[in-house]
Structure 1
Amino acid sequence: MKRLLTLLAVFLLVAGCANIPLESQPVVVSGDKPPQAPVDVPEPQAGIDSLTVTRQFIRSSAIPGTGNDNARVYLDDEARRTWKPSPGRTIIDDTFGTVYDTSSPQGNPDEQLVNVRGFKLGTLSPDSAFIPLKAEYSQQFKVRKQQNGQWRIVDPPQELVITDEDFSVNYFRVPISFYSPDSGAFVPDLRYVAAKPQSGLPGRVMDLVLQGPSEGLKGAVKDLLGDQVTTETNVRSTDDGTLDVALTGVGGASSADRSLIAAQIVLSLQTVTLSRIRLLADGTALVPDHEYWRASELPEYNADIAPNSGLRGLMTVNGRVRSLGDGAPVGGPAGNGGYKVVSAAQSVDGNRLAVVEERDGRQWLRVGDLNRDLDSVDLFGGSLSRPTWRPIARGSGGVSGEVWTVVDHNTVARVTLAADGRWVKAGVDATMLTGLGQITELRLSRDGSRLAAVVNGQLVIASIVRTADSVALRAPRSLQERQLKDVVDVDWATQDHLIVATSSSSLPVVKVPLDGQRMDPFSGSNLTPPVHGVTAAPSRPNLVADAGGLWVASELGEVWRPQAHTVTDADPFYPG
């Protein structure tokens, strides 16, 4: 009878848990009365002091989970019932201080005030994106001795704070893919999900796909799924190793849109599963006659946004444009000295060239076909930043037709190729970016959804939002503002990583993800600071210019070696 009762209890427990979504995104418990910490979360060690209680509360806040159970055990009974932290988290530096507040006398010996001070690095927003932030962190905690003699927090803040180290351990970064109708490419949106349990990663990633792009990317990409599409069942692995994703609400989506939805899901899931993916919509294959998917089966959506291997890159040297491949000058006035070239940029397809020319005490923009005379554009100023090309727009017939530059450090300008073959000025609403300060460098991402800029010596990114009659820069954010200073140049190594050059001797070249959550320095070996230029591109070695010439390195930690055709005073650039 005892065995029977035990088996029955187990059966009821399993049955009761059958519909719990084990693979959903952890969320903060809502409702009027959050529950007390469940019995399976152990109480803190007996006898710890107020400072330790406060520090362990902060460290326990890093652990994702319903109701913040691991942190809740450091609160008194009343706070356990009523504490409702705000969504998102604030990430602070690993080194933070906890000290007793002695500024005001305490009449109650069973109450103590603990001041916590540190440095904010960023926030994990409610849409699971990291937003860099430079600010001091200061918070006061009231800790009270309970009847059992243990110290507990009685007024926990709504803001959840975790250290950078704990954030890295407990969260996993995933690039969620969103489609850019402008370039026909898929664009990564870096987001963070709970790292454990590992089996639930695909489900948590799929939740983010359904949520749509983060606030920093909205408007720059298309939300293919919209609000009406959801998952019909949990994302789950079957016995044969397939990952099932069952959608509902796709409805009357066109065949083309269904293929794009399939690509978006498969690309987003490829970092968290090696399984083949079964895509269903309302019980049938999402794409007719194509029920099972692997990333290797997808079309090359991003083939046109990266320079092909035959384009070795160019450099400007002493007012002329030369090849990085053999050092020879390009054809036409840009290479033979007909123009006094200050800087230049080659289109992603390699067919066109834009140069900044010094003429009559001013700098002018010229654009045209490579190896030919370049048209002078009615765009000039005391200074123009190095040009940068928009990727080939979808439906443009494979022609690069837009160039950007910054005039006099404060006006973002672009020129477009008109129907009659002339290059004409067009507007950019860059108020949000120019309001941050003087812009010295500007690089469009090769998928056309973002730009990277050097503003007052800081690294800044922004999204590019296009409508039928306007182009605007939105959501500018400074990356690694605390540590990354004296930036002189930047380029896109991949869609989600930047290579940055600074004038600093201690940090000459670094690699930064587009959300700025971390920063990885390259070796400084063989470089002669200051570095004054950098260029990068997918599947290309990183190339920097310093006082001694040009240097290449492919990986972090690799020693810089001389470029085959190095020359002093050269500024290198890959297409884009």
Structure 2
Amino acid sequence: MIALLGCGVVLLSACGSMPVTGDIKAVDASQPGDSQVQVYAVAPRENATPGEVVDGFLESMTSDDPGFRTTRKYLTKEASRTWKPSAFTTVLSKAPNRSPRPVRDSDRSSTELTFTLTGDKVATVDAQSAYQPVVPTDFNRSLHLVRQNGSKEWRIDLVPDGLLLGQSDFKRLYRSVNKYYFAAGPATDQSTLVADPVYVRNRTDPITGMDTVTQTVRSLVEGPTNWLRPVVDSRFPTGTALRKGVTALAPDDRNVLKVPLNKKADGVGQRSCRMMASQVLYTVRDLTSARVEQVELQRSDGSSLCVLGSDQAEEFAPDGSSGGPDSQYFVDDEGHVQRIPGSTKGSGDPEPVAGPFGNGPVRMSTVGVARDEQLAAAVSQDSASLYVASVVSAGELPRPAVISRAKKSEDRLSAPSWDGRGDLWVADRNPNDRRLLRLAGGTGEPSNVRVPDLGGARIEALRLSADGVRIALLLTEDGHTTLKIGRIERQGGPDTRQDVSVVELRKAAPQLADVTAMSWSGRSRLVVVGKEQDGVQQVRYVQADGSAPASGVLPGANQVSSIAAADDEQLPLMADTEDDGIVKLSPGDNWQTVLKKGSSLVYPG
């Protein structure tokens, strides 16, 4: 392998002498996290050994080889014709190990050979570019080689579809992007944009020849991932695609991104077109070096279909539900709810909220505040009763909205959480009557939410996403607490008669054996507190699809018991700690103590 570091280029060569016997070896074509390295595949040398052929094939999969043409030279003609590298990608913790396994038939031992590829599988990426993490699992696949008729050249004739990459190469080759679709449901909800994270290729995709922006727009137009599809809508008409031959999209010198579409979009009305353009704008605005300020969608003949500027797209903003700078709220040592003004970024003087939570007779333990900061829900100190009241006007404490009958306080109500639609959620952890409850509008009658995949697990904590279509759950089972994300499906009208369920739970932090606290942090990201197996407590970011960003680990804090983040990712993280009280972490800074006394600090939601 020859590395031209000054040019950011790596050439991979299979012409070195590589043994086919002895210890198993790992093949890793790149340094971890080096996203600027560009890798070029090299064809097999003449009379390459079977081990060199296998190594060259694995290495070339990590390259930017157009159409994987060079990669296919390690295959027989038939295998090259049928191999589908774009079918899916398997991600291993490290580059695969390989070991030869000779065939038992002595008559074929000189013309056939099988190599076993092993490793720890941590994720797959499907044909929709959706990332699906798994608890590290033993991976075992085979490559079968044959000596070509009439020559001494070894080639692979049996190869699984898809790509096989170590985690470091995957992070170098791919990047996470958010596509945006509208929340499905009642008309009042259909202007809410929902992030749908996928992974696209850095630079140019070897299969399509498209740059990163074009890959992302193409994926957006093709529709949402299967997991999110039941709860979102796209304004692009079925069959809409980029105009044939489009492989590069970039904003012009006025930061306008022009997107040519096919005939399926020619007849779209102006309102629908503006919504389509908003989907594109929020999807691509952070992908280019120059921030996209305007999107122009074009008909199949090149004429303008509609134009939407960033100021006009504000009505569809994914994080526009809070309506202003988010304050922080916490429970003081007297059991009353206090507020730190939003404009201070956690540095202001706390003040009691208006109403019964600020000076009422019942001591509270946890609080959740609606995103419009008008109502709050608080759980009593014994965790038995949930109250809902105004935090902006005076009034008497109402009767409890929910009561848990569990004998022990730790088996009673969880901390409450509000979704972006104004509904209030809480879990009753009573072993004899476990329930996930939703109060429509925060004041409706509690209704049971079905969670078919829950099994024997118990909900310890919950947080609702701002878009109202996803819920993060801390679930305890068999002595471990894990983080899972569920999809919220609603049937019926926009009122209390809705039938609501949480379905298709999927792990969001499989690398952590135990998660003790979590909070949504932006559109499709969470901040979590947890431990790896036999590890120490850590604070880190995870994506809603379960992937972990390369820079996801945050500075540690002492004994964090809860954590809070805002819809706006630029606002500081806040955490409850045993030794330092309530602390905050601003971008680029270290943890700083905000309050020595107090607990259950939250942002609205």
TM-score (norm 2): 0.77
Letter in structure 1 aligned against 2:260: A
- Residue 519 (structure 2) pairs with residue 496 (structure 1): no
- Partner of 2:486, secondary structure, is strand
Aligned partners of 2:99 and 2:117 also within 8 Å: yes
Superposition pairs of residues 68-217 of structure 1, within 5 angstroms: 68-84=68-84, 87-101=87-101, 108-134=109-135, 135-146=137-148, 148-180=151-183, 182=189, 184-197=191-204, 200-217=211-228
* Residue of structure 2 equivalent to 1:470: 499
- Partner of 1:544, secondary structure, is strand
* Residue of structure 2 equivalent to 1:521: 553
- Residue 587 (structure 2) pairs with residue 555 (structure 1): yes
Residues 412, 64 of structure 1: alpha-carbon distance in 2 compared, 3 angstrom cutoff: farther
Residues 448, 237 of structure 1: alpha-carbon distance in 2 compared, 3 angstrom cutoff: closer
Letter in structure 2 aligned against 1:286: L
Aligned partners of 1:63 and 1:70 also within 8 Å: no
- Residue 230 (structure 2) pairs with residue 219 (structure 1): yes
- Tell me how far 1:440 sits from its aligned partner: 0.9
Q: More displaced, 219-228 or 141-150?
A: 141-150
* Residue of structure 1 equivalent to 2:464: 444
Unaligned runs of 5+ in 1: 1-39, 394-399
Residues 200, 378 of structure 1: alpha-carbon distance in 2 compared, 3 angstrom cutoff: closer
Letter in structure 1 aligned against 2:145: V
* Residue of structure 2 equivalent to 1:272: 287
Q: Take 1:310 and 1:154, find their aligned partners in 2: how far apart are those partners?
A: 59
Question: For each residue in 1:248-306, what CA deviation from the matched residue of structure 2 results, as whole angstroms up to 9, or x when unmatched?
Answer: 3236544322221111122222233436543223554323xxx4x44355224335423
Aligned partners of 2:42 and 2:60 also within 8 Å: no
Residues 515, 222 of structure 1: alpha-carbon distance in 2 compared, 3 angstrom cutoff: same
Residues 512, 237 of structure 1: alpha-carbon distance in 2 compared, 3 angstrom cutoff: closer
- Residue 573 (structure 2) pairs with residue 571 (structure 1): no
- Partner of 2:211, secondary structure, is helix
- Tell me how far 1:389 sits from its aligned partner: 0.4
- Tell me how far 1:106 sits from its aligned partner: 5.7
Which residue of 441, 459, 466 maps to 2:483? Answer: 459
Which residue of 230, 233, 238 maps to 2:241? Answer: 230
Residues 280, 103 of structure 1: alpha-carbon distance in 2 compared, 3 angstrom cutoff: closer
Q: Take 2:405 and 2:462, find their aligned partners in 1: how far apart are those partners?
A: 16
TM-score (norm 1): 0.80
- Partner of 1:515, secondary structure, is coil
Residues 551, 244 of structure 1: alpha-carbon distance in 2 compared, 3 angstrom cutoff: same
- Tell me how far 1:495 sits from its aligned partner: 0.8
- Residue 562 (structure 2) pairs with residue 533 (structure 1): yes
Aligned partners of 1:41 and 1:73 also within 8 Å: no
* Residue of structure 2 equivalent to 1:365: 386
Q: Take 1:466 and 1:316, find their aligned partners in 2: how far apart are those partners?
A: 36
- Tell me how far 1:436 sits from its aligned partner: 7.1
Letter in structure 1 aligned against 2:138: E
Percent identity between matched residues is 23
Letter in structure 2 aligned against 1:509: V
Aligned partners of 2:144 and 2:158 also within 8 Å: yes
Residues 543, 320 of structure 1: alpha-carbon distance in 2 compared, 3 angstrom cutoff: same
Residues 132, 306 of structure 1: alpha-carbon distance in 2 compared, 3 angstrom cutoff: farther
Q: More displaced, 59-68 or 110-119?
A: 59-68
Letter in structure 1 aligned against 2:197: L
Residues 503, 546 of structure 1: alpha-carbon distance in 2 compared, 3 angstrom cutoff: farther
* Residue of structure 1 equivalent to 2:576: 545
Aligned residues: 512
Superposition pairs of residues 397-412 of structure 1, within 5 angstroms: 400=422, 402-408=423-429, 410-412=434-436
Question: For each residue in 1:321-343, what CA deviation from the matched residue of structure 2 results, as whole angstroms up to 9, or x when unmatched?
Answer: 23344344434443436223232
Aligned partners of 1:534 and 1:545 also within 8 Å: yes
* Residue of structure 2 equivalent to 1:246: 260
Q: Take 2:66 and 2:87, find their aligned partners in 1: how far apart are those partners?
A: 12
Aligned partners of 1:449 and 1:463 also within 8 Å: yes
- Partner of 2:275, secondary structure, is helix
Aligned partners of 2:355 and 2:389 also within 8 Å: no
Q: Take 2:358 and 2:526, find their aligned partners in 1: how far apart are those partners?
A: 29
Letter in structure 1 aligned against 2:131: F
- Tell me how far 1:162 sits from its aligned partner: 1.7
Superposition pairs of residues 357-436 of structure 1, within 5 angstroms: 357-358=380-381, 363-370=384-391, 372=395, 373-382=397-406, 383-391=412-420, 393=421, 400=422, 402-408=423-429, 410-417=434-441, 423-432=444-453, 434-435=454-455
* Residue of structure 1 equivalent to 2:277: 262
Residues 226, 318 of structure 1: alpha-carbon distance in 2 compared, 3 angstrom cutoff: farther
- Partner of 2:110, secondary structure, is coil
Letter in structure 2 aligned against 1:141: L
Residues 451, 255 of structure 1: alpha-carbon distance in 2 compared, 3 angstrom cutoff: same
Q: Take 2:541 and 2:251, find their aligned partners in 1: how far apart are those partners?
A: 41
Q: Take 2:167 and 2:404, find their aligned partners in 1: how far apart are those partners?
A: 45
Residues 328, 200 of structure 1: alpha-carbon distance in 2 compared, 3 angstrom cutoff: closer
Residues 159, 503 of structure 1: alpha-carbon distance in 2 compared, 3 angstrom cutoff: closer
Aligned partners of 1:367 and 1:423 also within 8 Å: no
Letter in structure 1 aligned against 2:525: H
Letter in structure 2 aligned against 1:197: T
Aligned partners of 1:381 and 1:408 also within 8 Å: no
Letter in structure 2 aligned against 1:306: S
Q: More displaced, 297-306 or 470-479?
A: 297-306
Superposition pairs of residues 315-326 of structure 1, within 5 angstroms: 315=331, 317=333, 319-324=335-340, 325-326=348-349
Q: More displaced, 436-445 or 309-318?
A: 309-318
Unaligned runs of 5+ in 2: 1-39, 341-347, 407-411, 493-497
* Residue of structure 2 equivalent to 1:356: 379
Q: More displaced, 102-111 or 271-280?
A: 102-111
Question: For each residue in 1:209-259, what CA deviation from the matched residue of structure 2 results, as whole angstroms up to 9, or x when unmatched?
Answer: 211111121122212113143334544569965543233323654432222
Residues 506, 138 of structure 1: alpha-carbon distance in 2 compared, 3 angstrom cutoff: same
Which residue of 542, 566, 570 maps to 1:512? Answer: 542
Q: Take 2:274 and 2:82, find their aligned partners in 1: how far apart are those partners?
A: 47
- Tell me how far 1:94 sits from its aligned partner: 1.7
Residues 310, 521 of structure 1: alpha-carbon distance in 2 compared, 3 angstrom cutoff: closer
Q: Take 1:77 and 1:285, find their aligned partners in 2: how far apart are those partners?
A: 46
Residues 229, 554 of structure 1: alpha-carbon distance in 2 compared, 3 angstrom cutoff: same
Residues 105, 318 of structure 1: alpha-carbon distance in 2 compared, 3 angstrom cutoff: farther
Q: Take 1:547 and 1:165, find their aligned partners in 2: how far apart are those partners?
A: 36
Q: Take 2:362 and 2:353, find their aligned partners in 1: how far apart are those partners?
A: 12
Residues 535, 57 of structure 1: alpha-carbon distance in 2 compared, 3 angstrom cutoff: same
Aligned partners of 1:343 and 1:386 also within 8 Å: yes
Question: For each residue in 1:485-536, what CA deviation from the matched residue of structure 2 results, as whole angstroms up to 9, or x when unmatched?
Answer: 2211111111121111226773421111222222521112xx322x110000
Q: Take 1:130 and 1:436, find their aligned partners in 2: how far apart are those partners?
A: 26
